[in-house]
Amino acid sequence: MRSWDDYADLLKGGDSLLDQTVAPVDEQLRADLHRQLAMNLSQGYFLFFQADPDYPEFVPFENSAFLLQPNPDSVYYYARVDGSGTYRVTGERGTCPVVGFATGANMMGTTDAPGKGLGNYDIDALTLDAQGRFDVIFSAERPQGHDGDWLFLNPSADFILVRQFSYDWGRETDLRIAIERLDAAPRPRPRMSPAEVDARMEGMALYAKRLSMVAMGAVRRPHDGGFVNKMHIHTFQEMGNGQDWPQAYFEMAFDIAADEALVIESDLPETRPYWNVQVIDGLWNQVDVLYHQSSLNGATAKVDGDGRFRAVLTAEDPGYANWLATGGHRFGLLIGRWYRCSSQPTPQIVRMKAHEVAGYLGERSPRITPEERAATLRDRLIQSQLRRKW
């Protein structure tokens, strides 16, 4: 059994990750990286110590505390599984617009090799009773004699992920969910052996750095692809998006001066069950979800009279309802999602001085008073906290 100092040694070298970033490096970014590594360690405890394929439960994954990119509208839960096992998942769907399962292997950061998606399932395809309750078996083969809901679990899978996307934060009813393994006899969970604790400690320490390396690569990809202050569509098919999870992303790196703004303009799909846009920093973290209007979605965004969506990315409030706050970041990513939409428009970007925004937008987009903004931000703060994250 190694000493605590030995595990601390595994964390050394974190600052060298800055060599891989395309974000401008200064003391602020170094501090942001240190915070991210601490965040990764906190998240790693759940993934390495509380997630067990023999004694499964859904543990917190991404949310407004664990900030790595995914989505400020979403709460993710992670359960470690054995692809050869049989698992029963039960619960109540709730009222959020999007709830689904993803199965895969090697969740990002948990191993050196990149993760792979192995199948997605919309919870609305299950049998739901009048209260939205469900009961489904995950396994490689349908259990003999089982005539209820069953979903294929690839033998290579080592996790089941739950995605829940909210529109009206805190006012929708959250998912309730539980998991149990059926092919192993129920028994008390034994005390972890020294060897098992050692392996999990090592995995958690390595995870902290691996996850930040994934984040650096995610920012580098659009940047190096030439999509700086210019949008493109990306499907993330390598992460499992496809026919069973039809979601496309519009994304770009932004790089603006403190006195500049980007105006985002887009057509909207005729059919759009769920869409959003969010601001991400240069390390692939969500920009402060609770205290900044750093995201908009199909419920909170205001659509202009001509049917188009227009928003302003800038550091200071431009006086328009669709403000996307940078949170003090001059470099980062802007990412949006079209989920099950009838089309996938690519938004256009116009760069200008912040004081030119009013002249450019005029009355085409709805304005907002300081009092209305304060009320909007307060509502965002309260309703975000009312969502279940843990």
Whether residue 158 sits in one domain with residue 30: yes
**In the predicted model, is pLDDT for residue 336 greater than 60?**
yes
Distance between CA 172 and CA 94 in Å, rounded? Answer: 7
| β-pairing verdict for 59-60 and 74-80 | antiparallel
Residues 280-293 pLDDT 10s: 999 999 999 999 99
pLDDT of residue 67: 76
pLDDT of residue 239: 53
**In the predicted model, is pLDDT for residue 172 greater than 80?**
yes
**In the predicted model, is pLDDT for residue 83 greater than 70?**
yes
User: Which H or E run includes 312?
Assistant: strand 309-314
**In the predicted model, is pLDDT for residue 241 greater than 60?**
no
Determine the distance from the C-alpha atom of residue 375 to the mean position of all C-alpha atoms in its chain, rounded to a whole number.
26
- Name the pLDDT band for 243 (thresholds 50, 70, 90): low
pLDDT of residue 237: 57
User: With contact defined as beta carbons under 8 Å apart, do 359 and 353 qualify?
Assistant: no
Q: Which residue has the tokens 């105006």?
A: 263
Average pLDDT, the chain: 94
Number of domains in the chain: 2
Residues 114-125 pLDDT 10s: 788 899 999 999
* Assigned domain for 11 exists: yes
**In the predicted model, is pLDDT for residue 294 greater than 60?**
yes
**In the predicted model, is pLDDT for residue 186 greater than 80?**
no
Whether residue 231 sits in one domain with residue 187: no
Whether residue 154 sits in one domain with residue 15: yes
Whether residue 192 sits in one domain with residue 314: no
* Assigned domain for 220 exists: no
Whether residue 208 sits in one domain with residue 245: no
Whether residue 176 sits in one domain with residue 37: yes
Residues 298-335 pLDDT 10s: 999 999 999 999 999 999 999 999 999 999 999 999 99
Whether residue 232 sits in one domain with residue 338: yes
Tokens of residue 227, six digits: 């999509």
pLDDT of residue 228: 98
Instruction: Pick the last residue of a domain from 179, 214, 249.
Output: 214
- Residue 324 sits in a domain whose CATH number is 2.60.120.1600
* Assigned domain for 302 exists: yes
Q: Which residue has the tokens 């309260």?
A: 382
Residues 127-155 pLDDT 10s: 999 999 999 999 999 999 999 999 999 99
Whether residue 178 sits in one domain with residue 30: yes
Distance between CA 166 and CA 322 in Å, rounded? Answer: 18
**In the predicted model, is pLDDT for residue 244 greater than 80?**
no
pLDDT of residue 160: 98
**In the predicted model, is pLDDT for residue 212 greater than 70?**
yes
Q: What percent of the chain has pLDDT over 90?
A: 90
Whether residue 69 sits in one domain with residue 130: yes
* Assigned domain for 165 exists: yes
Range of the domain at 300: 225-386
**In the predicted model, is pLDDT for residue 163 greater than 60?**
yes
Segment 153-166 shows an average pLDDT of 96
Whether residue 169 sits in one domain with residue 264: no
Neighbour count for residue 197 (Cβ, 10 Å): 14
Global pTM value: 0.92
pLDDT of residue 115: 83
